[in-house]
Structure 1
Amino acid sequence: MAAEFDLEPFSDPKASTLAFFGAELRLRREGAGLSQTQLAKRVHCAPSLVSKIESAVRVPKEDLAEAFDGALGADGFFARLWPVVIRNAFPAWFRPFVDLEQQAVAIRSFELQIVPGLLQTEEYARAVLGGNRPDRPKLEELIAARMHRQHILDRDEPPRLWVVLDETAIRRNIGGPAVMRAQLARLLEASEVPRSLVQVVPAAVRSHPALAGAFATLSFTEGPDVIYVEGYYEGQLRAEPEVVSSAHRAYDLLRAIALPPEASADLIASVMKDL
């Protein structure tokens, strides 16, 4: 059956988990004798979105994957496949950190250049991730995966989140003024949540213990803390006691030299106003 809204060539289902998802959706839709428009009506979305999902150009939201199951009688197939699509979007070296992040009861993050992924807006994430990724399907997977990571903050008992940013991170105009204003507004929202704290190390501080790069520490109900250290090509997890202890000392110093939370919020609001 010809699909009247095909906007992209169909991807090789072996190319990625997202491509496999799209290929299966197309096969089951056609097997049910439905056009893309007819399926779109059943799941309450645009036909062009169905086309983009089948072509591995767009990642479906979780509730849409569940809707596909209902519309096509797939017995939960797409709902079960969806988290695999999301997890496989992350580079293999980053997946262990994501798994641990899901279990953490406390997260302490320091960023030099950008807002951390847990607090990024979708458009800001698109600007950050799209800078060196011309592969559009992979970019869409990465964005969806990054947004899904943030669901840990929506739990009834989310992890305690402490974010320290170098002032550079709030002044770097990523994505343009509108994108950056929305991102700074998101930071201000996070600063008002009881279990979250946001601090900014002002540019007037000429030196601090994390000029070498961004890092994050994770704490758990049971077991030792771990540290994730950013790198140019890939990050790495470290659990050696001396490394973790050094990271905690550095973070304590960062919190001490950073502006207090209220003053940090005022600075963020001021930068937002300037935009």
Structure 2
Amino acid sequence: MSGNRMTARQFVGREIRHARESKQLTRAELAKTFPVSESLVASWESGRLIPKTEYLPHLTGILGLPDVILRILDDLVSREVAPEWLDKWTRAESDSSALLTFEPLVVPGLLQTEDYARAVLRLGKPAPLDLEGQVSARLARQKVLTREDPPLYHAVLDEAVIRRPVGGPATMRDQLMRLVDLSRRDEIIIQVIPFEVGAHAGVAGAAIVLANINGSEVAYVDNALRGEVVEKPEDVAAIRRLWQMLSAKALHEDASIELIMKAAESWET
């Protein structure tokens, strides 16, 4: 936004807030009618997020939003460039010809089973009201790996990823066997850095992903808040060097899958 010019997202968010207030509803009260989290309603009203299509009939019914708002949602907001932390990376991810990732803690989102994703998204959130919506969104992103011309996906995992219990033994076993199944695809490579390597460049770092789009690269670095899309060439190059160092420390693909299978056996119930 430049100056005081209001974006379509902000305009719609303002109208949602005005409609809610005219109905004398608090954000918490509106959130419970879906149910979603109060913070999600706040994100709608600030323009940081737009309501998903499936929420619109209920939102319109509760607040009585005019048709013009729905038209703006369809015609403008859905095509507007979203805030960087929200939409830029998912668009880069879906358009990529190659994705290189390193994960020190959990299985990457594009490889997660539904139960594992649910367990991860629940962490730190005892009862998130919009948990199922978050799970659905994560699973929807995985379609990039099954499109007609999928990207090369090369994941490097620390062994802690396959040893740390997430969601219970059955969830862990199913998740690890999914990794084994996915590794059979020609375009998916999974490597594991074993504990015996000791300390390495990724131990104190966060998850990273590099996406190659039409010969140029962008990167994503995870953090405790919302992640960061990195586009400066020198920064992307540094992240690529880090990923290459980590890949070099990892076991060969076949040995990695053997280790994953042994870990899966350890989660037998």
The normalised TM-score by structure 2 is: 0.71
Contact 2:144–2:151, Cα closer than 8 Å, also in 1: yes
Q: Which has the higher contact order (CA 8 A, sep 6+)?
A: 2
Kindly provide the amino acid, as one letter, of the partner of residue 54 in structure 2: F
Please, which of 167, 176, 184 is the counterpart of residue 184 of structure 1? 176
In the other structure, the counterpart of 2:21 is: none
Q: Which moved more, 1:195-204 or 1:250-259?
A: 250-259
Contact 1:11–1:19, Cα closer than 8 Å, also in 2: no
Please, which of 254, 260, 265 is the counterpart of residue 268 of structure 1? 260
1:66-95 per-residue CA deviation (whole Å, 9 max, x = no partner) reads: xxxxxxxxxxx9xx98xx99xxxx997232
Kindly provide the amino acid, as one letter, of the partner of residue 101 in structure 1: E
In 2, Cα distance between the equivalents of 1:271 and 1:217? 27
In the other structure, the counterpart of 2:54 is: 21
Structure 1: stretches of 5+ with no match in the other structure? 1-7, 29-53, 55-76
Where in structure 2 are the equivalents of 1:93-242 lying within 5 Å? 93-134=85-126, 136-211=128-203, 212-222=205-215, 224-242=216-234
In 2, Cα distance between the equivalents of 1:21 and 1:92? 23
In the other structure, the counterpart of 2:33 is: 10
In 1, Cα distance between the equivalents of 2:129 and 2:83? 14
Contact 1:191–1:197, Cα closer than 8 Å, also in 2: yes
How far does residue 9 in structure 1 lie from its aligned partner after superposition?
Answer: 6.2
Q: 1:27 to 1:95 in 2, by over 3 A?
A: closer
Kindly provide the amino acid, as one letter, of the partner of residue 219 in structure 1: N
How far does residue 239 in structure 1 lie from its aligned partner after superposition?
Answer: 1.5
Structure 2: stretches of 5+ with no match in the other structure? 1-30, 45-49, 63-69
Identity %: 34
In 1, Cα distance between the equivalents of 2:245 and 2:59? 54
In the other structure, the counterpart of 2:26 is: none
In the other structure, the counterpart of 1:33 is: none
Contact 2:157–2:193, Cα closer than 8 Å, also in 1: yes
The normalised TM-score by structure 1 is: 0.69
1:193-248 per-residue CA deviation (whole Å, 9 max, x = no partner) reads: 100100000001112222222111110125x2111111122211111222111112
What stretches of structure 1 move > 6 A for 4+ residues in a row?
none
Aligned length: 214
Kindly provide the amino acid, as one letter, of the partner of residue 264 in structure 1: S
Kindly provide the amino acid, as one letter, of the partner of residue 173 in structure 1: P
Contact 2:99–2:209, Cα closer than 8 Å, also in 1: yes
Kindly provide the amino acid, as one letter, of the partner of residue 208 in structure 2: F
How far does residue 21 in structure 1 lie from its aligned partner after superposition?
Answer: 3.3
Where in structure 2 are the equivalents of 1:80-91 lying within 5 Å? none
Q: Secondary structure at the match of 1:133?
A: coil
Kindly provide the amino acid, as one letter, of the partner of residue 221 in structure 1: N
How far does residue 11 in structure 1 lie from its aligned partner after superposition?
Answer: 3.5
In 2, Cα distance between the equivalents of 1:135 and 1:95? 25
Kindly provide the amino acid, as one letter, of the partner of residue 147 in structure 1: L
Kindly provide the amino acid, as one letter, of the partner of residue 206 in structure 1: G
Kindly provide the amino acid, as one letter, of the partner of residue 107 in structure 1: L
Contact 1:163–1:197, Cα closer than 8 Å, also in 2: yes
In 2, Cα distance between the equivalents of 1:252 and 1:11? 45
RMSD over aligned Cα atoms: 3.2
